[in-house]
A and B are shown apart, each in its own frame.
Chain A
Amino acid sequence: MNSAFFQEFRDRDLVRGLAESVRRLTGGRGKPMTFMEVCGTHTMSIYQYGIRSLLPPEVRLISGPGCPVCVTPVGFMDRAIACARLPGTIVATFGDMMRVPGSSSSLLEERAKGADIRIVYSPLDALALAAKNPGKRVVFPGVGFETTAPAVAATIMSALSRGISNFFVLCAHKTIPVPMRILSSDPELGIDGFICPAHVSAIIGAGAFRFLAREHGVPCVVTGFEPADIMRGVEMLARQVSEGRATVENEYSRFVSEGGNARAKDLLARVFVPADTQWRGLGVIPESGLEIREEYREFDAEKTLPLEVEEPREPEGCLCGEVLKGKIAPAACPLFAAACTPEQPVGACMVSSEGSCAAAYKYGQ
């Protein structure tokens, strides 16, 4: 097996064959099927490979809240900015966070004003920065779902075992199954099936979505990010709907198992505890966030640093919240491509490379 193997999942004929199968399953059906792709990386792939143009009109794909940067509320950005304003402090962040608007500034603007803000690829890079700069604090904004949170947990454990005491995490990690349950029961959305987030599933396992099928009757498919994966995922969902079944099927079994990654789940349980958290657009959702456990509070920026934060203000006219719930397409926002562009973003969905608005802007609506 070599890297060319992965290209097979982009094979045009395979994608067309699967699209044909979707057409056969949905043809003649009066009512359209609505499937939500929860993950922002799926949203990006769907635009990039023109998946919608290959689907019959009976299938409607809507984008969900699975872009971590997009669902992070403005107040969190304000706290990250407050960290950057503390003297002797380096903020080490994933690049996507730089341009996300806070109430009155962004990390990018703070850097231009002289704050020490570095872009890192891994939380381990932020820890290395702390080890190299013992006279400074290093704050890592912990944003992301179950895919990313174990990496941050592992980094906190590593900081503890190496005795690095100038490393802090500003924690806004979120978990995805509960918001999916809430969206699945929204009659306005009428979701007939979920394309489950694939790399979240690599950690929590396909089994984590079984309650959605069992208790709420929603078909779920875990699928990869290549065009043939996505088309096959849609085909599997269409088949479940047409046969009147609701179960969890796993198209991405090459990387996702039923139980997920036990070590990663153990890291999550050891360092974090479930907590209520606020989602942009969805409000406060009980037990859908991860908070750093008391045992690790010395690494919790929120609890240990003197942060001065302004009252959060959402950008005026921004409809990110509606986009994140799948209620409107990006182009239905009056700011889209007018006041709000990737160069001058108003809302987070236009900032992140996997935000629905950024995808719609880049690849056409």
Chain B
Amino acid sequence: MCLAVPMRITSIEGEVMVAEMDGVRREASLMMLGDEVKVGDYVLIHAGFAISRLDEEEAEETLSIMRDCLDLSRAPA
């Protein structure tokens, strides 16, 4: 039930936005994020509300740690 999907904001009108991911479009409320977001941002959508904005730098950082882990696992023990 806590499932939330990341989608890209394509338009914002007042507190309502339209977001899209892989061809699926959905309207959602921005009541919980307010003016922190802009068109083009990725947000997590749950039950008709955007609940969190993607922090791209943090995402890259997480992936880079995972890649380091992969390199280590390939190195001789």
Contacts and interface: CB of A to CB of B under 8 A. Distances in A.
A267 interface: yes
Nearest to A200: B2
Contacts of A256: 52
Chain B CB within 10 Å — which of A20, A94, A154, A254 has the most? A254
A333 B3 CA distance: 27
Interface stretch (A51-59, A122-130, A131-139, A290-298): A122-130
Given A40-B2, A144-B2, A122 B48 contact: yes
A194 to B, nearest CB: 15
A261 B51 contact: yes
Interface in B26-77: 29, 31-34, 42, 44, 46-49, 51-56, 58-59, 61-63, 65-67, 69-74, 77
A151 B66 contact: no
B4 interface: yes
B44 A199 contact: yes
A365 interface: no
Contacts of A16: 70, 73
B48 A124 contact: yes
Nearest to B8: A3
Interface string A106-125: 00000000000000011111
B44 A255 contact: yes
A1 B2 contact: no
B31 A154 contact: yes
A3 B44 contact: no
Contacts of A235: 69
A17 B69 contact: yes
Contacts of A313: none
A5 B2 CA distance: 22
B21 to A, nearest CB: 6
A39 B67 contact: no
A354 B44 CA distance: 19
Contacts of B70: 13-14, 16-18
State the main secondary structure of chain A at its contact with B. Answer: helix
A324 B27 CA distance: 34
Contacts of B32: 150, 154, 261, 263-264, 267
Nearest to A70: B1
A350 B8 CA distance: 33
A125 B29 CA distance: 12
A191 B47 CA distance: 32
A47 interface: no
B22 interface: yes
A121 B63 contact: no
Given A1-B42, A121-B47, A254 B1 contact: no
B48 A123 contact: yes
B66 to A, nearest CB: 5
Nearest to B16: A124
Given A3-B22, A254-B59, A151 B48 contact: yes
Q: Which 10 A-B pairs have CB atoms at the shortest separation, nearest pair first?
A: A122-B48, A17-B70, A20-B73, A254-B59, A253-B58, A147-B2, A17-B73, A199-B2, A202-B52, A151-B47
Interface of B: 1-4, 6, 8, 21-22, 29, 31-34, 42, 44, 46-49, 51-56, 58-59, 61-63, 65-67, 69-74, 77
